[in-house]
Structure 1
Amino acid sequence: MLDLNDYGIEMWDAAKIADFRRTLLNWYDREKRDLPWRRSKNPYHIWVSEIMLQQTQVVTVIPYYERFLDWFPTIEDLAKAPEEKLLKAWEGLGYYSRVRNMQAAAQQVMTEFSGQFPQTHEGISSLKGIGPYTAGAISSIAFNLPEPAVDGNVMRVMARLFEVNYDVGDPKNRKIFQAIMEVLIDPERPGDFNQALMDLGTDIESAKNPRPEESPVRSFCAAYLHGTYDKYPIKEPKKKPRPLQIQAFVIRNERGEILLEKNTKERLLGGFWSFPIMETNFVAQQLDLFEKEDAVLETLSQKQVFEEDYKLKPQWTDRQFATVKHTFSHQKWTVEILEGLVKKAELTSSHQLAWVEVSDLANYPLATPQKKMMAAYFETK
C-alpha cells in the first residue's frame, strides 16, 4: 500500500476518521440529491448513469438516462442494439466512444458472464470502458463493496482536506488520492460515502465559486483551517484545443433532398451523419497569408476537391451563411458552409452517402456540430 507520509500527507488517527465518516454521512442523509439512479441498486442502471455523468452535468443527463433505459431496458437489449439507434440515444451527449464501449461491455457481459452483471470489483473492472472510478462507483453503490470512486470532484475535496501538493490533473498522481480514499472510506456504507463526496464536490466544494464556510467537513479541512483554500487543488492549465478550419458542403438535388454522409468509425464522430466536410488551411487564413484573390482560389480548390472526391458536379450558389463554431476537448472547429445544387442525383463515390428529405433529418443520428450547421443553413432560407 502507498505510504502517504512519502507524499507529505499525515493521515488522521482512527477516532478522527470515524468522526469524519459520521459527519459526512449525516450531512448526506439530510441533503442528498434525489436522482433517478439513486432509487435503484440495479448495477446496469448505475453503470449507465455513471458513464453518462462523465463530462456531462446531472441536469443534462436525467432525460438521457430515462430515455436510454426506456430504449434499452436490459443489458441484452444494449448488447444487441443497432448502431444508429445506439448513437441516436446518445445524440448530444458527446464523447461517443463512451456509448460504443458500453455496448462492447454489454456484449462481454452476455458472453463472459452469462448475461449477469459481474458482482466483484475485478469482474467489473474487466469490462470495456470501465476504469477505476466507474468500477469503484458500481462496486460500492450496487454491491456495497468498500471500493473508492475517485474522480475530479473527490480529488478536489481530498486536496483541500489534506493540502495535497500534487497536480490533480496528472494521471500519475491519482494513486495518492486513491490511497487516501482507501483509508477514509466507510466500510459499512461505502456507496453512500462515495456519493456524499460526489455531491460535496459538485456543489459546496465545486471548482468554481466554492462555499467553504458551508462545507459540513470544514472543521476537518486543513486548507480551510490554514487559510490556503484558494491554493487547492493544484492543477496545471490544460492545453488549448487545436484550431481547425472546416468546409461544409450543403448539396441539394432537384427534389430538395439534402446530401448526408456517414462518418467512418476511424473519423471523429464516427457513425454519425453530417453534411460532407473537409478540413481547409486554418493557419494560413488566420494569419492572413493569402491575398484576397488567392483566398478565392483557395475556396474554388475546395469545390474542385469535393467534385472529384464525391463524383458530383454541383452548381455552386453564392449564398452566405453564418460561420459555425464548435469546440471539442482537443479541436476547435470554425465551419464555413458552401451550397451547391445538382440535377444528376446518382451517388457513385466511395463515401457512404444518402439523399435525405428535410423532414427525415431528425431520424438520423446527428452530432452537435451537424445540428449547428443545419441551424446556420436553414436560418438563412
Structure 2
Amino acid sequence: MRRLKEKVALPFAPAAVADLQERLLAWYRAEKRDLPWRRTTDPYAIWISEVMLQQTRVETVKPYWARFLARFPTVLALAEAPLDDVLAHWSGLGYYARGRKLHEAARVIVERHGGALPADAAALAALPGFGPYTVAAVGSIGLGLDEAAVDGNVARVLTRWLCREGDPREAKALAFFREVASLLLPPGAAGDWNQAMMELGATRCGPGAPACLGCPVATHCLAFRAGRQAELPPRRKAKARPELHLAAALVVRDGETLLARRPDAGLFASLWELPAVTVEAGEGTALLQRLVDEMVGGGAVVGEAIGTVEQTLTHRELKLTVHAVAAQAQAPRIAAPYVDVRFADPAAALPGGLSSVTRKALRASRQER
C-alpha cells in the first residue's frame, strides 16, 4: 500500500486500544440489529448485501436481498443468468451500475476462481465493482480476512474518536482513515469489528448530535472529551445539483401501456420506461409529440400533465412529468433513443425491468397496481 505523507499514529495507548476493542465488540455482539445478512456465513450472500446497501437504506434492501438470492442463490446462478433477468430483479433499487457489476464479477469469479469468492484481498480487488470498501467488508465478514472497512459511518466515528478536522469524505481523508482503521483492527475479529464500527456510526454516532450517553466507548472519544462531538465532522455545504426535466407519454391500449427500452449505456441503461424526451423547465410538449408521432403514428395527441414525480440521481435532480396521450390502436415503432418498444402490462415481468422513476410515474398516474 502506498504510504501517506500524513503520519498515521494512534493517540491511544495500547491498553486503551485493547479496552476500546473489548468494549465495542461486546456492545456489538449484545446489541446489534437483527439483519438477515447477519444470519448467514455465505460469502456470496454477504457480498450481495454489501453491494445493495451502498447508497440504499437497510429497510429497502431487506426484501430485495431475499428475492435476489431466491432467484440467484449462487455465484454460478448469477453468472449464468441473462443480464436482463438480473436487472429486472434489481429494478427499483436504483444505481443500476451495481447490478451490472455484480453480474460481470460473478462471471469472472466462475471463470477464474471456480465459482467461489477468492479469500485473498488482491484477488478480490481485481474483480469488477470491488473497491477498497467492498474488498474489506466482504473479505472480513464473509471470508475471515483481516481487512479494515471504512464507509461513511466509520469515517465519521473515526473523525470523532481522533477529534480530527476536515471533511472525512474527501479522498485523502478516507485513505488516512483506512490506515488508522488497520491499526485499530483486532486480528481474527475483523468481521465483527468492522460491523461494530458501522453499527456504532449508524445507531449511535450519526450525523449531527451523536447519542454519546449510549455509546460504549465514549470515554475513549477525543471529540467527546473536548465537547466537540456535535461539531465534528463539519457539515458539508450542499452543492447545487443540475436539474434534468423529462416529459413522458402515457399511452394505454386495451389495458396495456406503451413502454420503451433504453439502450445498454447511459441513463437508465437497458431498462423500460414511459417514452420520454428531455425538455427545458417550462417547455411545451412539441418534442414529446414528435416522439409519440414516430412511435404510434399521426393522430396521437399529447394531452395535459396527469402526474409529476421527482427523483435524486447520482449527480442530478430528475423531474418527470407524465402526459396522457390519446392514440389509435396500432403496432408501435421504435424511435431514437430507444432500442425496443411495446405495449405491455407494467406489473408483468419485463426483460431488464422498469426504471424506479417509471414505477413512481405509473403510480402517480394511477396506472400501476
Separation in 1, partners of 2:2, 2:179: 6
1:224 is paired with a residue whose SS is helix
Matched, 1:220 2:206: no
Find 1:335's aligned residue among 314, 317, 320. Answer: 320
Matched, 1:14 2:14: yes
Distance 1:203 1:116, change over 3 A: same
CA displacement at 1:84 relative to structure 2: 2.7
Separation in 1, partners of 2:149, 2:237: 24
Contact 1:241–1:329 under 8 Å retained in 2: no
Deviations 1:328-363 (A, max 9, x none): 2322122222222332523333433333344x5332
Deviations 1:154-173 (A, max 9, x none): 00100000011131121232
Alignment of 1:219-298 (within 5 A): 219-253=219-253, 255-282=254-281, 285=282, 298=283
Matched, 1:377 2:362: no
Partner residue in 2 for 1:305: 290
Gaps of 5+ in 2: none
Distance 1:62 1:361, change over 3 A: closer
Distance 1:33 1:229, change over 3 A: same
CA displacement at 1:104 relative to structure 2: 0.3
Larger radius of gyration between Structure 1 and Structure 2: 1
Separation in 2, partners of 1:63, 1:126: 29
Contact 1:44–1:117 under 8 Å retained in 2: yes
Alignment of 1:118-129 (within 5 A): 118-129=118-129
Separation in 2, partners of 1:36, 1:300: 47
Distance 1:146 1:279, change over 3 A: same
1:83 aligned partner, one-letter code: L
Separation in 1, partners of 2:334, 2:4: 60
Q: Percent identity?
A: 32
Alignment of 1:1-381 (within 5 A): 6=6, 10-253=10-253, 255-282=254-281, 285=282, 298-307=283-292, 309-310=294-295, 312-316=297-301, 318-343=303-328, 345-350=330-335, 351-358=338-345, 361-364=347-350, 365-378=353-366
Separation in 2, partners of 1:368, 1:209: 33
Deviations 1:272-309 (A, max 9, x none): 11100111012xx3xxxxxxxxxxxx525224431465
CA displacement at 1:5 relative to structure 2: 9.7
1:213 aligned partner, one-letter code: L
Distance 1:10 1:303, change over 3 A: closer
Please identify, of 39-48 and 67-76, the stretch whose mean Cα deviation from structure 2 is larger: 39-48
Separation in 2, partners of 1:344, 1:48: 43
Separation in 2, partners of 1:185, 1:48: 24
Contact 2:109–2:117 under 8 Å retained in 1: yes
Distance 1:335 1:5, change over 3 A: closer
Contact 2:334–2:341 under 8 Å retained in 1: no
1:324 aligned partner, one-letter code: V
CA displacement at 1:10 relative to structure 2: 4.7
What's the TM-score once normalised by structure 2's chain length?
0.91
CA displacement at 1:257 relative to structure 2: 2.9
Please identify, of 344-353 and 12-21, the stretch whose mean Cα deviation from structure 2 is larger: 344-353
Distance 1:123 1:25, change over 3 A: same
CA displacement at 1:66 relative to structure 2: 1.2
2:105 is paired with a residue whose SS is helix
Contact 1:133–1:150 under 8 Å retained in 2: yes
CA displacement at 1:223 relative to structure 2: 0.4
Going by fraction, where is helix more abundant, 1 or 2? 1
Separation in 2, partners of 1:305, 1:7: 61
Distance 1:143 1:247, change over 3 A: same
Please identify, of 268-277 and 9-18, the stretch whose mean Cα deviation from structure 2 is larger: 9-18
Distance 1:234 1:15, change over 3 A: same
1:115 is paired with a residue whose SS is coil
The runs of at least 4 consecutive aligned structure 1 residues that moved more than 6 Å come to 1-5
Contact 1:2–1:179 under 8 Å retained in 2: no
Contact 1:257–1:355 under 8 Å retained in 2: no
Separation in 2, partners of 1:314, 1:376: 26
CA displacement at 1:267 relative to structure 2: 2.3
Separation in 2, partners of 1:57, 1:262: 27
2:198 aligned partner, one-letter code: M
Deviations 1:187-232 (A, max 9, x none): 0211111111111010011124520121101000000010111221
1:372 is paired with a residue whose SS is helix
CA displacement at 1:235 relative to structure 2: 4.9
2:325 is paired with a residue whose SS is strand
